[in-house]
Amino acid sequence: MSTSLCRFRMRLQVHFLHIRLCGAFRSASQIAPSSIGDEIDPTRLVAVPEERFQELVTAEVAYLATVPVKAVSMRQIVTWRDARDMVSIIQREVPRRFALRIRLIETLDGWQEFVGTFKSIREEGKHTIALSASGIYKLRKRLNKFSQQETNFFDDWLDGFLLSRIGTNALIDQFVAIAAKEDGGLGRPTGITDPRCNASNICEFAAQISSYICYQRFGREPKYIVQDFQAGRVGPQDNSPCYFSLIPSYLRYIMCELLKNSFRATLLTSSEDDMSKRPVRIRVCRDVHTVAIIVSDEAGGIPFEVGDQIWSYMYGTAAKIGTKPEGFGNPENLTGYGVGLPCARLYARYLGGRLSLTSYPGYGTQAHLMLPRLDPNEVQ
């Protein structure tokens, strides 16, 4: 086991224990004073040898890793407005997710090759995507070629690992966001969610970010159009934005990944004169139950033989090039870490939706993002 992953696993164990112990002391504090006294008596605490303590931790992790992890839906997150309401679920669900990740690390044969570039992790999870991409490149360089079975295995493993990270971060971020400022939180009434998230504004903002990145890279920007459509009305609707409950940062991430790909392809296949004739079109469509966002370009498409490889972590830039991805350490760079599409699909899946892409070689591509629209009776 490499030193970096040992540290990562140990850090997960520390977080795991901290939350479990907080839960234990909280439970103890709720027992009637007549049973345990007004305070915990330090003379009644038992010293446990370190070796035995590690055995207990291992057993606890092994047990919790077998307990099914309950998915937390957007509908649940929207209902949490008081940090106190989340304490019990944080103490129950986050340790299970940490346990799952610890067990995944421990049971992956040959994982030390895959994560050889995992170096120092100053903050749990902060650089997971960047380090994963770097690890993919190292693994591909070392093994040179993968069988389809091996590729599928690593893709499934990373999907599970990163999806668990998304779920863990969503729980913790919501807890911190809704906690009162005097308690060290952000004091946001709805936390990381926005009950009136404007999908069109998010798309426009993501397009502006992606355009700026293109300008930094190529010295010019692509043209794009954002349009709103609504069930029951034909054609683009002016001044009719789509509102629904969502985590805006997750939608922004998905849209940035889609638009960076379309913008870059458009710039590479268009002359200055052609730019205005081939704008990237962003269409936000909705009915009372679903929001669909379509990103379409006319940049030549993706060859059919590439197929589903675009969703593989082994296919992206980080896995193919001989150096670090351009701008390594900056997640909003045009080429990014080369794992943007599979990660974007995970975020869509976490939000209860789906992300797909259709290519028309010689013409262009269309990305389709489908998201459930919560509270259809309240938000039009």
- Other CB atoms within a 10 A radius of the CB of residue 31 amount to 10
CA dihedral 270, 275, 278, 281 (to 10 degrees): 120
From CA 47, how far away is CA 20, in angstroms rounded? 18
CA distances from 25 to 37, 143, 200, 290 (A): 14, 48, 46, 44
The pLDDT of residue 274 is 77
The pLDDT of residue 184 is 67
The pLDDT of residue 375 is 58
The pLDDT of residue 15 is 60
Q: Is the pLDDT of residue 311 over 80?
A: yes
Name the pLDDT band for 273 (thresholds 50, 70, 90): confident
Helix 3-29 with 83-107: angle, nearest 10 deg: 150
Query: pLDDT by residue (tens digit) across 186-235?
Result: 788 888 999 999 999 999 999 999 999 988 888 888 999 999 999 888 88
Please give the model's pTM, rounded to 2 decimal places.
0.69
**Which range has highest mean pLDDT (5-14, 139-148, 215-224)?**
215-224
φ and ψ at residue 296, rounded to 5 degrees = -125, 140
The pLDDT of residue 330 is 44
What is the chain's mean pLDDT, rounded?
A: 75
The pLDDT of residue 285 is 94
